[in-house]
Amino acid sequence: MVVTIEKSEAKIIKKMNERIIKNFLDIIILSELRNGTFSGYDIISYIHNKFQLLVSSGTIYSLLYSLERNGLIEGVWDERKRTYQLTKKGTHTINTILNVNQDIKTFVSNFLKIQ
């Protein structure tokens, strides 16, 4: 019975991690773009390698286009592929988000407290 509970808990945790990653993909992408330019394929590979989560190309490219429309990133054609880099607005946005990291952790912790 203990093994079943552990598998069940692992499944719940995996699903929760997937939800969190998918909901924060924009922040993950902006944060990774601080390290240089990346193509959509590079971002898909990064997410798969770091989080063991395979995200569809449609999801990533849709999000990249949205970030670009909002002026947070800029796409540039490099031979046969399009690479993305942060704009000044994108750099300011991700730095602001990362600077309030502890506030976010406190909020989530307080939100999830069981009373």
Q: Which residue has the tokens 């800029």?
A: 74
**pTM, 2 dp:** 0.82
* pLDDT value at 86 more than 60: yes
Q: How far apart are CA 43 and CA 62, in angstroms?
A: 13
CA distance from start to end of the chain: 28
CATH number at residue 9: 1.10.10.10
Query: 16-47, pLDDT tens digit by residue?
Result: 889 989 999 999 999 999 999 999 999 999 99
Q: How many domains does the chain have?
A: 1
Which token pair is 62?
């849709």
State the residue range of the domain holding 85.
Answer: 2-112
Q: Which residue has the tokens 């190309």?
A: 57
